[in-house]
Structure 1
Amino acid sequence: MNLTRIDNKKRRIRKKLYMGEFAIQGFEIVCHTSVADFDQYDVFIDDFIDFLESIDLCFAGGGFEVFDGFICSTERYGSATQAQRDQVAAWLEARAEVSQVTTGELVDANYL
């Protein structure tokens, strides 16, 4: 079975492999921060996670000076959207401690 082709797979298999209509889209973020200590970092992370949860997204990653990671939907077969990607970029750019925000294109989270 060739995992890169979906035209030779039944719906049940595509669902199990998160392929085709069941693919989960997410995006990468990278930004530079001026966070100086763990207390300031905790506040930033808590605010960021609260924001993401409010728009049904989740995050994996972190970092002090270079903050990066991957964002995808909290729904089982849900995908991040272009609008959500723009919202995350705008939220990060509005933060005083964040500079040089870069968001990646929407990609398949299971087959990077």
Structure 2
Amino acid sequence: MRHTTTKAAIESRLSMRSALPLLHMAGAALLVIAVAGPARAQNTGIAACDDFLTKYDTCVTSKLPEAQRATYKAQLDQTRKTWLDMAKNPSTKPAMEQSCKQTMDAMKTSLQSFGCSF
């Protein structure tokens, strides 16, 4: 009986030793995530566009009713993706500053009813 218990204890220790590297890696990954914090949205590199995206995001998360946030957040995410793609394209990038300003002006009016100010 004692032999069986000792054998089981040894096997358990060996199993734990083989798991240690994985536990260390998992711990390191959690530490990186904790230190890095939440993912940050990418910038377009165009001041007017990034300004609008930041203000729109703040408006959506702080002023809009919870029931409507998902719709506006999806619109924001799609706009950000489109603008990031446009910013990478040399033929569309030059027109972005003006386009983003026009978008901001249009959205100012529609979001004023929620108390958002740009």
TM-score, length basis structure 2:
0.36
Report the structure number with the largest CA radius of gyration.
2
If asked which structure has higher relative contact order (CA below 8 Å, sep 6+), I would say 1
TM-score, length basis structure 1:
0.37
